[in-house]
Amino acid sequence: MDRTALSLPILISLVVGNMIGTGIYVLPASLAQYGTVSLFSWLYTALGAMCIALTLARLNKRFPKTGGPYVYCKEAYGKPIGFFVAYMYWICNAVSIAGLAVASVSYLGFIMPILDSNNELYKPHAALILELCVVWGFTYVNILSIHIAGVVQFILTIIKVIPLLVISLLGLEKIHIVNLVQFTPNHMTYFSAISGAAALTFWAFIGLEAATIPAENTRGNKDIARATIYGTLLTSFIYIVSTFVLMGMIPLSQLQNSQFPFSIASTLLFGHMGAILVTGCAVISGLGALNVCVLLQGQIVFAAARDNVFPSMFAKLSKNDVPISGQLLSSGLVTLLLIFTIEPMLLNQFNYIALLAALLALITYLITSFSEIKFLYVEMNNKGQLILNKKFLIPILAVLYSLWMLISLEEKILFAGSIILVIFIPIYFLTVKRQG
């Protein structure tokens, strides 16, 4: 057994660490605009995420290769669709890194007024510089070694989970029922509120496939499947309980305008010094998720380049088996995204980036789920019994969930996604077609 391979605990930390970023520390404020009915969005999203996680676990058993969704879709539909999924997933990962950088820096605003967009001392360009330092700092860590990055991630995941659990458990005693009775805003139906909130909550589940990406650096399919399922279940529990507690502790009118809701909750529980400690953990949480995303961005580019889907220069590995060219290209893309999405309000910038990442991830998961359906269809001798087969139910639910989420997204997010899709066409012809 390879001692440098990523073990089960590290794989679970990749899954949990990739999903639990600073997003959960910010999302209660974003969800407050939809009322407490948004708690049901967590349940709905968790069920959909589990269907996707189970589908990915089965696909990894079929194709235990580095690349995750890209590999499965290429095997199912060929190189053009494989390139499309690799491209979408790569851009999604870059957008997620940008969102994590914004959220991590925004939480520092609780300690440093220059980073608090609600404070008159706020300097947008200072926030931007710090965001870029974070992105490139973790790019350097991942260039050193994938195993070092995995160990760093395991430590960061433990640090990020503890304060969420502590606040959730102790905060149960501070819940005020009156804060939970505003189910939806007056102008919004239950269905539209749940659908709108679910589009945001889904962003917090992006990364559930993290264990499948570095498949060739793990100890086998069983560890990958367990990490994917256990990590998704643990993360779902933490999300639902922590959001419920915060909405019960803090009035929605105050919560929806907060840049750092967990710090406010920590002030109520532990005082100002305790809040500073939790703020530090929130920043570490975001950095941990960002570390995983940076690790994955190089792996997906490497897997595609190795199959001549991306330019061959990105298939070259360093002496530590790190695709340095892919890392540098991806972090360069994140840099441009942070520069062009800068806004006066960090929460608005975060919401836009989160929804854009959700759109790209949903497209990736949708095509990946259809891949499993195709493989099952080919395997079944009696095609008429396919729908009644239990294995068929999970990917079908994953498809239906992904479609519902896509429909619920705002028009401006769909427009931004369509631009990314249009850009895909010339890139495809300049890379794949050019290489023969």
Full set of structural domains in the chain with CATH: 8-431 (1.20.1740.10)
This prediction's pTM: 0.76
Segment 180-236, tens digit of pLDDT:
877 776 667 877 888 878 877 887 887 787 777 666 667 777 888 888 888 888 888
Cα torsion through 234, 236, 239, 245, rounded to 10 = -90
Does the pLDDT of residue 358 top 90, yes or no? no
Neighbouring CB atoms inside 10 A of 92's CB total 27
For the chain, percent of residues with pLDDT exceeding 90: 5
C-alpha span between 163 and 285 (Å, rounded): 10
Strand intervals (E) in 184-298: none
Classified as helix, coil or strand, 104 is helix
Looking at residue 12, its pLDDT comes to 81
Give residues with Cβ within 8 angstroms of 152, minimum separation 6: 141, 291
Whether residue 96 contacts residue 293, with contact meaning beta carbons closer than 8 Å, is answered with yes
Span 4-33, pLDDT tens digits:
567 787 788 778 877 776 667 778 887 888
Handedness of CA 346, 351, 356, 360 (dihedral sign): positive
pLDDT tens, position by position, 224-256: 888 888 888 888 888 888 888 888 888 888 887
The band of 120, judged by pLDDT with boundaries at 50, 70 and 90, is confident
**Cα gap 245→166, rounded to integer Å:** 11
Predicted pLDDT at 412: 85
Mean pLDDT, residues 68-92 taken together:
85
* pLDDT computed for residue 90 by the predictor: 83
d(CA 165, CA 156): 15
Percent of the chain with pLDDT over 70: 89
In terms of phi and psi (left: phi > 0; alpha: psi -120 to 50; beta: otherwise), the region of 324 is alpha
Question: What is the pLDDT, as a whole number, of residue 1?
Answer: 37
Q: What pLDDT band is residue 399 in, cutting at 50, 70 and 90?
A: very high
Given this model, what pLDDT does residue 363 score? 92
> Once rounded to an integer, what is the mean pLDDT over residues 253-266?
80
**Per-residue pLDDT reduced to its tens digit, 292-305:** 778 777 777 777 77
Q: Is the pLDDT of residue 343 over 60?
A: yes
Convert the pLDDT of each residue in 142-164 to its tens digit.
777 666 666 766 777 777 778 88
pLDDT at residue number 2: 45
- Partnered with residue 6 across adjacent β-strands are 218
- The answer to whether 331 and 95 have CB atoms below 8 angstroms apart is no
User: pLDDT, tens digit, for every residue of 39-55?
Assistant: 888 888 888 888 988 89
